[in-house]
Amino acid sequence: MKSASLLFGLLLLLCVLVVQAEEPIAIKFSHVVAADTPKGKAAERFAQLAKEKTQGRVEVTVYPNSTLYKDKEEMEALQLGAVQMLAPSLAKFGPLGVKEFEVFDLPYIFDGYDQLHQVTEGPIGKELLGKLADKGVLGLAFWDNGFKVMSANKPLKGPKDFRGLKMRIQSSKVLDAQMRALGANPQVMAFSEVYQALQTGVVDGTENPPSNLYTQKMFEVQKFVTNSEHGYLGYAVIVNKAFWDGLPADIREALDEAMAEATVYANEIAKQENIDALAKVKASGKSEIIELTPEQKTEWKKRLAPVHQQMEDRVGKDLIQSIYQATGSDISKL
Ligand code: LMR
């Protein structure tokens, strides 16, 4: 009798161990934008690739649209290990203590995606991701979104049109300086709160790539959208370092592969997604799209160029110079 119950106990233990061994490793991937955006789609693609490449040993669950955490909370949650993966915009790394990422927010620092990729796909990008390590965070990749438009309930054709407007920004000192250079009052606000703030007049306007403006329906509460492409918004995909380092080596390798493929996908779709989103905003008839003349664009650039020098202490003069060198473009010479 005694030996039978011992055997039963052993069998039970074995079953528990087998079930535990088969339980997939769970990765929670939280983000703040809609699923139907470049980041949302790339996150889903990563989840699918991760499952395939690990034969189901890893299960990535994507939580879009701030359903799990809002901007500030998600960074804390990652460091605490409550989520394992995020892709915050590069403008949101200041609170983590990595101010250098705000270099991507400098107005007109990239003239198009090719120039951007010289940085994100080159040694400067690698070095920037490396700065995260001592924050308990590992930077895996840069994912593109796009170049920003400005929106408000009045036409924003030139810098003078911004005077006194309350403009929502992400938590970046560079964006703060940019809005102040235009004569506007910048207001830092979580992404999930922007639609309502625009609707109720808590803020007058905002900036974002068209994919975000469209999928959050911000265009429904903004009468005018200027296709200014005055700055870039993109992401760093990050993981909790202790979690990542603790994964079995073969799993990590498979996930690295999945990330590399998801990154190619993200950066292939981003440009077209934004072109399509702007076309949909236009087709809605709810916002008027303003295209700037070359003269107007020059006026914007002249007004915003001094922000580069002004932000040298914040993001690093050498970093700015190395980006000018990598892209071959230097707006401060205007
Ligand atoms: C914003 O807050 O405007 C963006 O960072 C949202 C995003 O993740 O694209």
Could you report the per-residue pLDDT of 106-128, keeping only the tens digit for each? 999 999 999 999 999 999 999 99
- With 70 as the cut, is the pLDDT of residue 8 above it? no
Distance 91 CA to ligand 1 centre (A): 8
Q: Identify the pLDDT of residue 248.
A: 98
With the most atoms of ligand 1 within 8 angstroms of its CB, the residue from 67, 73, 171, 212 to mutate is 212
Nearest atom in ligand 1 to 145's CA: 9
User: Could you count the other beta carbons within 10 Å of the beta carbon of residue 113?
Assistant: 17
Decide which of 196 and 331 is more confident. Answer: 196
Up-side HSE of residue 81: CA atoms within 13 Å toward CB?
A: 7
- Residue 185 token pair: 């009052």
The DSSP 8-state label assigned to residue 143 in this structure reads E
Q: What is the DSSP letter of 136?
A: T
Q: Helix, strand, or coil here: 208?
A: strand
- Which residue would you say has higher pLDDT here, 72 or 239? 239
Q: How confident is the model at residue 91 (pLDDT cuts 50, 70, 90)?
A: very high
Classify burial at 307, counting beta carbons within 10 Å of its beta carbon; exposed 0-12, middle 13-18, buried 19 or more.
buried
pLDDT at 10 over 80: no
pLDDT tens, position by position, 201-239: 999 999 999 999 999 999 999 999 999 999 999 999 999
- When pLDDT is cut at 50, 70 and 90, the band that residue 22 belongs to is confident
Q: At residue 281, what is the residue type? A: V
CA of 105 to the centre of ligand 1 (A): 12
What's the pLDDT score for residue 331? 84
Mean per-residue pLDDT for 149-163? 98
Q: Could you give the angle at the alpha carbon of 80 between the alpha carbons of 78 and 82, nearest 5°?
A: 65
240 Cβ neighbours under 8 A, 6+ residues apart: 78, 79, 81, 83, 84, 85, 136, 137, 138
What is the average pLDDT across 164-179? 98
Ligand 1, residues at Cβ distance < 6 Å: 32-33, 89, 145, 170, 191, 208, 212, 233
Probe target for ligand 1 pocket from 36, 65, 71, 217, with the most ligand atoms within 8 Å of CB: 71
What is the edge-to-edge ordering of all strands in the sheet holding 232-240? 58-63, 25-30, 85-86, 232-240, 137-147
Domains along the chain with CATH numbers: 23-333 (3.40.190.170)
Q: What percent of the chain has pLDDT over 70?
A: 93
Phi, psi of 253 (to 5 degrees): -65, -45
Tell how far the Cα of 32 is from the centroid of ligand 1, in angstroms. Answer: 7
Q: Using pLDDT thresholds of 50, 70 and 90, give the confidence band for residue 13.
A: low
For residue 214, how far is its CA from the centre of ligand 1 (angstroms)? 13
Residue-level pLDDT at 14: 55
Ligand 1 center–CA 12 separation, angstroms: 49
At 297 the pLDDT is: 97
Give pTM, 2 decimals. 0.93
Q: Which of the four pLDDT bands, split at 50, 70 and 90, describes residue 332?
A: confident
- Ligand 1 centroid to Cα of residue 123, in Å, is 25
* Separation between Cα atoms, residue 277 and residue 37, nearest integer Å: 9
**Can you tell me the distance from the alpha carbon of 60 to that of 259, in angstroms, rounded to the nearest whole number?**
12
Element (H, E) at 144: strand 137-147
Query: What residue has token string 């292939």?
Result: 268
Mean of pLDDT over the chain: 94
Which atom of ligand 1 is nearest the CA belonging to 211? 9
Q: For residue range 254-280, list pLDDT tens digits in order.
A: 999 999 999 999 999 999 999 999 999
259 CA → ligand 1 middle, Å: 21
Q: Which residues are 152's β-sheet partners?
A: 224
Query: Residue whose CA is closest, atom 5 of ligand 1?
Result: 89
Is residue 34 over pLDDT 80?
yes
Q: Could you tell me the end-to-end alpha-carbon distance of the chain, in angstroms, rounded to an integer?
A: 91
* For residue 43, pLDDT beyond 60: yes
Residue located via tokens 């997939």: 24
Are residues 162 and 182 in contact, defined by beta-carbon separation less than 8 angstroms?
Answer: yes
The per-residue DSSP string of 71-133 comes to: HHHHHHHHHHTS-SEE--BGGG-GGGT-GGGGGGGSTTS-SSHHHHHHHHTSHHHHHHHHTTG
Which has more pLDDT, 334 or 33? 33
pLDDT reported for residue 6: 58
